[in-house]
Structure formats: C-alpha cells, structure tokens
C-alpha cells in the first residue's frame, strides 16, 4: 500500500490500490505462465504491460478478472481479496470492464443493444436508463450515429470503440485492455488510442497490455516489462523506456526501436 505526498507535519494518508497482486502464479500443464507476479495499480492511473508475445501479459489480465484461476498467490480489488474462495466472482466481474483484441460484439444485436445488454441483464438497470447512458457514451466516443447499426456495418476501429463503450457502460472500477489495437489496420489504431487517452484524462484506472510502445510511453504512469512470466522491470515510462536497468529490457526495446515502433 502506497502513501500520498503530504505537507510538512501532516501524516501520510494510505492509498489503497485499485488492483493488487501478490506472488501470483499461473500454470498451464507443465508451462509456468506467471511466476510470482507482484503488481499494484493506484487509483486513476494507467499501467502498461509490455513484453514479447507469450510473456504473460494477457494471462495476467485474465487472472485479474478471474477469467483464469490462479494456482498460487492472491489478488485484491480495492480492499477485497477476490481470489478468496468465498468471494462472489460474478460481483467482482461486475466491477471490472474488459476489452479484448477481438471485438466480441454480438452480430445479431445493434450497437445500442450490445452496449445495454450487461447493464440491463447483469446490473438490473432499467432499459430507459441504460439506453440513455449508452447513448451518452456513444456520443462521447464518436459513435452516436451508429447506435442502431449492426456491428458488421462498422469499421474495425468503430467496432473496437463500441467494445470500449460496452465495457464503460457498467461503470467499472477498473478497465482492462488486452492488445485492443492488434486486430486493427494501422490507420484505425489512432482513433482507438485517442479514446484511451481521453479516458486517462477523465481519471479511469486502467491496465493495458500493448505492443504500441510509443503510446505506452506517452500515456502510462507505470510500465511493467514482462519476460517469461516475470515482471522483470517496472517503473515510470521515463525510467523504463529512457534508462532501463535490465539487459533483457534493453534488448527488447532495442528491437522495437530497430523495427521503427518507438
């Protein structure tokens, strides 16, 4: 648990992380995907998970949302241990929004129906209230005119923005973003990243796994470099991208620079 900066003589006020992981371990068969991962995400901050494919980024996010059961360790959401067997997993998931690289929109539902489904069915929000909130979010993300369209009538960038709106519609405490630009054409990446940048400005707490290194450098308050299921290095974006301590981090970033992605 971290503490807020204080004026001289004023006691520090503890800040409860929105998400906290301690010694989290996850295996698939004989393969160890996460090795004793520790992570803290402070309120109203963005944490970027970077690393090569297969380093454990997506699995970490899936464990945070209880989509994968951990083998050891513990995870807290605010001050509740959500990996306690007595925890209500459905209630936990209602407090976490998730956006995957695949849009996962229901093709037989309009954008508005996709966005309002969880608020109505899971949270019990009346239809009129859910639709009003959904339209406000769609307007804010530039999709107001697409509310009554079906997903296959939208571009990839529009579909991904609709998926973000769907995650926001439940008013999540924490937003997890898993490689949300991976399936997009290059010209559509910018419009989706602009949404994330706006959400940061509004104080949304986010954890994102990304290969967009320039974006991670610009938007993240904390950067974690994963390698072989281990958080090998963490720090501010300036520290990790500007002066990494670990040789493995330096090699990874050197390849990124050589590929023109940073």
Q: Residue 228: which residues within 8 A CB-CB, separation 6 or more?
A: 35, 55, 56
Give the residue extent of every domain in the chain.
37-95+176-184+203-262
Q: From CA 182, how far away is CA 188, in angstroms rounded?
A: 11
Rounded percentage of the chain residues whose pLDDT exceeds 70: 95
Question: For the ranges 9-18, 27-36, 192-201, 202-211, which has the lowest average pLDDT?
Answer: 9-18
pLDDT in tens, 133-153: 999 999 999 999 999 999 999
Q: Which residue has the tokens 């009554």?
A: 148
What mean pLDDT do residues 24-44 have? 96
Alpha-carbon dihedral of residues 250, 252, 258, 262, nearest 10 degrees?
-90
> Is pLDDT above 80 for 9?
no
> Is pLDDT above 60 for 172?
yes
Q: Which residue has the higher pLDDT, 168 or 2?
A: 168
pTM: 0.90
What mean pLDDT do residues 49-65 have? 96
Over the chain, what is the mean pLDDT? 92
Predicted local distance difference test score (pLDDT) of residue 6: 57
Q: What is the 3-state secondary structure (H, E, C) of 129-187?
A: HHHHHHHHHHHHCCCHHHCCCCHHHCCHHHHHHHHHHHHHCCCCCEEEEECCCCCCCHH
Q: How confident is the model at residue 101 (pLDDT cuts 50, 70, 90)?
A: confident
Predicted local distance difference test score (pLDDT) of residue 262: 72
> Is pLDDT above 90 for 184?
no
**For helices 111-121 and 156-168, angle between their N-to-C axes, nearest 10 degrees:** 20
Q: Are 24 and 72 in contact (CB under 8 A)?
A: yes
What mean pLDDT do residues 161-188 have? 91
Predicted local distance difference test score (pLDDT) of residue 4: 53
> Is pLDDT above 90 for 82?
yes
Tell me the CA distances in angstroms from 65 to 68, 99, 139, one per residue in order: 8, 11, 28
Three-class SS of residue 76?
strand
Predicted local distance difference test score (pLDDT) of residue 170: 92
Q: From CA 106, how far away is CA 152, in angstroms rounded?
A: 10
CATH of domain 37-95+176-184+203-262: 3.40.50.300
Q: From CA 189, how far away is CA 89, in angstroms rounded?
A: 33
- Six-digit token pair at 92? 């936990």
Predicted local distance difference test score (pLDDT) of residue 14: 76
Three-class SS of residue 96?
strand
Q: From CA 71, how far away is CA 27, in angstroms rounded?
A: 7
What mean pLDDT do residues 202-221 have? 94
Q: From CA 243, how far away is CA 227, in angstroms rounded?
A: 18
């Amino acid at each position: 648990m971290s503490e807020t900066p204080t004026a001289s003589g004023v006691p520090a006020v503890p800040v409860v992380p929105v998400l906290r992981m301690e010694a989290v371990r996850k295996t698939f068969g004989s393969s160890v995907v996460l090795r004793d991962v520790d992570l803290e995400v402070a309120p109203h901050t963005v944490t970027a998970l970077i690393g090569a494919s297969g380093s454990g980024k997506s699995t970490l996010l899936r464990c945070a949302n209880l989509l994968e059961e951990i083998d050891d360790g513990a995870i807290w959401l605010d001050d509740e241990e959500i990996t306690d067997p007595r925890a209500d997993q459905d209630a936990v998931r209602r407090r976490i929004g998730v956006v995957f690289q695949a849009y996962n929109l229901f093709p037989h539902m309009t954008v508005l129906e996709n966005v309002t489904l969880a608020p109505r069915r899971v949270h019990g929000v009346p239809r009129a209230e859910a639709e009003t909130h959904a339209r406000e979010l769609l307007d804010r993300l530039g999709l107001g005119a697409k509310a009554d369209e079906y997903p296959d009538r939208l571009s990839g960038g529009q579909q991904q923005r609709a998926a973000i709106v769907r995650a926001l519609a439940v008013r999540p405490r924490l937003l997890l973003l898993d490689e949300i630009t991976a399936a997009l054409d290059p010209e559509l990446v910018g419009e989706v990243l602009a949404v994330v940048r706006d959400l940061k400005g509004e104080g949304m707490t986010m954890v994102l796994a990304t290969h967009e290194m320039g974006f991670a450098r610009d938007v993240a308050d904390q950067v974690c470099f994963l390698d072989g299921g281990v958080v090998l290095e963490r720090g501010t974006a300036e520290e990790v991208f500007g002066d990494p301590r670990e040789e493995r981090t330096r090699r990874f970033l050197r390849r990124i620079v050589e590929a023109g992605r940073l």
